[in-house]
Chains A and B, each alone.
Chain A
Amino acid sequence: MRATAESIGPPAPPRPVEWVRKNLFNDWFNALLTIVSLGFLYFALVAIVRWALVTADWRPVTVSPLLFLVGQYPRDQLWRPGFSLLLSTFLIGMSWGVWERYVKAFAIFLGILLGVLALIPLETPTITFAVRAVFLVNPLLIYLGYRIGRLGAVKGRHVAMFWLIASVLMVLVLLPGYKNIPALTEVPTSAWGGLMVTLLLAVGGIVLSFPIGVLLALGRRSSLPVVKISSILFIEVVRGVPLVTILFMFSVILALFMPAESRIDRLIRALMAMVFFSAAYTAENVRGGLQAIPLGQVDAAKAVGLTNFHVTTLIVLPQALRMVIPAIVGQFISLFKDTTLVVIVGINDLLGIGGAVLNLSPEFVRLNMEVYLFIAVIFWIFSYFMSYASLQLEKALGVGER
């Protein structure tokens, strides 16, 4: 028996030829598949690249990127969405500092994305130096927020409070403006558009639907029959109909149920519809979490003397919600994609602006593929990285491990 030192050790990585033989050509069927796939890939890629670089006319995209970002927001008031963006990224950086593992991937992705966007060499009159500067500052702000968040004095609840104040400030004061303040001229929500509206609807939808969803999930498990039946009815009905019908209901039918004098802003109506819809799905996700709590926990809590209310809020909910965070993030990603449906009720989100861009100039009318592909790429980038961040989040939470 010759046990030499060299024979023990990890196997060397396969040489390229061996790897190809093992992975691509290991039997005749696989060999055939490989050849067919390579042929298909070759033709497809050549056609796509040729189209993208030669035949495609990318002017609708390059002529006004700002339209895709903020829609029709008055160009002289752009400092307001700009400031909102800076504030948000700073807070994201702080969140990263405080809740490191959870937010890290997302924060880094955002920083890189905004930095790259700032540096894209696009010569259009609408992209001024100021706009580029605003984008470029963001990665720095994220880092700054991170360092501040790492300071011991800053705790999670501080950051949560900052988020609350910032959201109220942005959505209710900064962006819409107020009649009597000359610096903040009123910008009606019909002028908001583009990615700004998509993000507002998605984030607003998830944040506002979360408490409602939790209440519904608890209501479904309640032993009070009225509450239980109402919750079940709500959840099953909302989950059984398409989102377009709910959007339609809020934009057209709602007016019939409210007193004739009240007129709710169209964007708020769409947001309400998304909240309504998302609450039912969140309720089901949370219900899964609630069911996974062992009954022993509840019994022990009662034995210690906690009231029903305290059992729910101190014992059951914290554990259940931690378990469903990945599902909630998944819900957010799919809500983000579902916001495109507001096109049908006349709101100019990212997809709606695509339609408006096609009509900017008579020559753009035919350029459907370019514009929609561009929008698809934007959605893809956001979705993919949010999914990636969600995976990191799951790993950080230790979900699925015993």
Chain B
Amino acid sequence: MVTTEHLRERIPFWRDERVLRAAAQIISALVIIGFIYWMVVNFFEITQQRGMSLSYGFLKEPAGFPIAESYVPYDPTMSFGRAFLVGLINTLLVSVFGIVFSTLLGFVVGLARLSSNWLVSRIALAFIEFHRNIPLLVLLFLWYFGIFTRLPRVKESITLPGPIYINQRGLYLAWPRLTESGSIFLISVVIGVILAVTAWIVLRRIREVRGRETYFGWVSLGILILMPAIGWFGSGGAPLWVDVPVLQGFNFKGGLRLTPEFAALLVGLTTYTAAFIAEVVRAGIQAVQKGQVEAARAVGLRNNQVLGLIVIPQALRVVIPPLISQYLNLTKNSSLALTIGFQELFAVGKIAINQAGRAVPVFLMVMATYLALSLFTSLVLNIYNRRVQFIER
């Protein structure tokens, strides 16, 4: 006969799981909170002794230090807040362009690695192995100190038709800029782009649903050309003027300028990240079942159609998550810019700490900004990722 005596036996409390769990929670909470408390107490004591202020009021004071490159107007009399904005914009610029270019280059190299041409495949392999095995900082030094600063001097610039000038102070291009009447043109261009994209999406959907041809490509193209043309004439026929770089004194003035610091950073980050992206792309493409490719060929699709319509869309499922982490790495790696003379967010923060002495507020700001950038990037890309994943039952 089964007795239930033993069930009423009291479990000694040191073996009772519920008690142990509660005790563990309390102890761990005490340890962690105690540690934080100790650090916070020390922190306040020391900052009080050193007279270091923790307020963010200094952001309004004049910075007093120059920044080599800024895409919004900046001079040393402007505030620290302005300097940080400049740094942030620099970081964003490098990150966005870096992500775009490295994705393009990474896909190309990844596909080249899988090419049936032995030579092309091996060259891609060399590219990938070279960049994966050296540290990014060394690569940046090589590009900047080894190559970009060795370009010819300003007076002996390489001149290309355009005019385009290449020298050790940068790449200078002729660039169109808006005149006073140009704002109408700008608005029309923006409207044109929005309408063209909308037309593309809507007409394509209609074609899928209704099954009849809507020539969405041609329609979009037409809108894209028509709207700016209207704007061109609407603004009186001269909305743009060409800003040509001219050598004045020491430097070229005018035109669009790409500094060697920015260029070296962009090239270094792009090639470095592209090598990793290439490997990810290769893994993704190889993950697509061979049967898919064979079936596509059997149906009569050409090679590039197989690639574009069958392989890559399926490969994207495998590719996107590691791609996201590569993008995040690129954004974080942009902080190495300070070693080659490009002042992005971290560099500005370091200079600010040096010149203004508010180590902790500045540092917290910088870290919080990077965190926000990382979280935002991964959030946006995860939305795309969810759309691309297999929808399982």
A and B touch in the complex (CB under 8 A): yes
Q: Which residues does chain B contribute within 8 Å of A24, judged by CB atoms? A: 117-119
Q: Is A58 part of the contact surface with B, judged by Cβ < 8 Å?
A: no
**CB distance A38 to B346 under 8 Å?**
no
Separation of A244 and B345 alpha carbons in the complex (Å): 12
Question: CB < 8 Å: which of B21, B133, B138 contacts A340?
Answer: B138
One digit per residue, 1 when the CB lies within 8 angstroms of any chain A CB and 0 when it does not, for chain B 10-53 equals: 00000001000100110011001000000100110011010010
Q: Which residues does chain A contribute within 8 Å of B133, judged by CB atoms? A: 337, 379-380, 383-384, 387
Separation of A98 and B382 alpha carbons in the complex (Å): 45
**CB distance B370 to A372 under 8 Å?**
no
Q: Is A165 part of the contact surface with B, judged by Cβ < 8 Å?
A: no
Q: Which residues does chain B contribute within 8 Å of A41, judged by CB atoms? A: 119, 123
Given known contacts A34-B119, A41-B123, A256 and B146 CB-to-CB distance under 8 angstroms: no
Q: Which of A1-9, A127-135, A222-230 contacts B (4 or more CB under 8 A)?
A: A222-230
Q: Which residues does chain B contribute within 8 Å of A368, judged by CB atoms? A: 141, 145-146, 149
Separation of A380 and B328 alpha carbons in the complex (Å): 24
Q: Which residues does chain B contribute within 8 Å of A161, judged by CB atoms? A: none
One digit per residue, 1 when the CB lies within 8 angstroms of any chain B CB and 0 when it does not, for chain A 215-241 equals: 000000001111100100000010111
Separation of A21 and B43 alpha carbons in the complex (Å): 72
Question: CB < 8 Å: which of B116, B123, B359 contacts A23?
Answer: B116
Q: Is A351 part of the contact surface with B, judged by Cβ < 8 Å?
A: yes
Separation of A253 and B25 alpha carbons in the complex (Å): 31
**CB distance A37 to B123 under 8 Å?**
yes
**CB distance A252 to B134 under 8 Å?**
no
Q: Which residues does chain A contribute within 8 Å of B339, judged by CB atoms? A: 343-344
One digit per residue, 1 when the CB lies within 8 angstroms of any chain B CB and 0 when it does not, for chain A 322-363 equals: 000000000000000110110110000001000000000000
- Which 9 pairs from chain A and chain B are nearest by CB? A383-B133, A369-B146, A368-B145, A240-B374, A337-B135, A23-B118, A242-B332, A242-B335, A340-B135
Q: Which residues does chain B contribute within 8 Å of A140, judged by CB atoms? A: none
Q: Which of A174-182, A203-211, A257-265, A313-321 contacts B (4 or more CB under 8 A)?
A: A257-265
Chain A residue with the shortest CB-CB distance to B138: A376
Q: What is the interface of chain B mostly: helix, strand, loop, or mixed?
A: helix
Question: CB < 8 Å: which of B25, B28, B32, B370 contacts A241?
Answer: B370
Q: Which residues does chain B contribute within 8 Å of A344, judged by CB atoms? A: 338-339
Q: Give the interface of A toward B (CB within 8 A).
A: 23-24, 26, 30, 33-34, 37-38, 41, 223-227, 230, 237, 239-245, 248-249, 252-253, 256-260, 308, 337-338, 340-341, 343-344, 351, 368-369, 372-373, 375-376, 379-380, 383-384, 387
Q: Is B100 part of the contact surface with A, judged by Cβ < 8 Å?
A: no
Chain B residue with the shortest CB-CB distance to A386: B133
**CB distance B336 to A227 under 8 Å?**
no
Count chain B CB atoms within 10 A of each CB in A26, A38, A227 and give the residue with the most. A227
Given known contacts A369-B142, A369-B146, A372-B141, A341 and B46 CB-to-CB distance under 8 angstroms: no
**CB distance A337 to B363 under 8 Å?**
no
Smallest distance from the beta carbon of A327 to chain B beta carbons, Å? Answer: 13
Given known contacts A226-B28, A245-B367, A257-B42, A338 and B135 CB-to-CB distance under 8 angstroms: yes
Question: CB < 8 Å: which of A230, A253, A372, A384 contacts B138?
Answer: A372
Q: Give the interface of B toward A (CB within 8 A).
A: 17, 21, 24-25, 28-29, 32, 39, 42-43, 46-47, 49, 52, 115-120, 123, 129-130, 132-139, 141-142, 145-147, 149-150, 328, 332-333, 335-336, 338-339, 346, 350, 353, 359-360, 363, 366-367, 370-371, 374-375
**CB distance A257 to B43 under 8 Å?**
yes
Separation of A234 and B21 alpha carbons in the complex (Å): 22
A-B interface contact total, Cβ < 8 Å = 151
**CB distance B43 to A256 under 8 Å?**
yes
What are 13 A-B pairs at a CB distance below 8 A? A23-B117, A23-B118, A30-B117, A37-B123, A223-B21, A227-B32, A242-B335, A249-B367, A252-B359, A252-B363, A338-B135, A351-B141, A380-B133
Q: Which residues does chain A contribute within 8 Å of B147, judged by CB atoms? A: 369
Question: CB < 8 Å: which of A33, A37, A341, A376 contacts B336?
Answer: A341
Smallest distance from the beta carbon of B366 to chain A beta carbons, Å? Answer: 6
Separation of A224 and B25 alpha carbons in the complex (Å): 6
Separation of A119 and B130 alpha carbons in the complex (Å): 26
Q: Which residues does chain A contribute within 8 Å of B360, judged by CB atoms? A: 253, 256
**CB distance A380 to B130 under 8 Å?**
yes
**CB distance B42 to A258 under 8 Å?**
yes
Chain A residue with the shortest CB-CB distance to B332: A242
Separation of A230 and B30 alpha carbons in the complex (Å): 13
Q: Which residues does chain B contribute within 8 Å of A387, judged by CB atoms? A: 132-133
What 14 additional pairs, Cβ within 8 angstroms, besides A256-B46, A337-B133, A368-B146? A23-B116, A37-B120, A224-B24, A240-B374, A256-B42, A257-B39, A257-B43, A337-B136, A340-B137, A344-B339, A369-B150, A376-B138, A379-B135, A380-B130
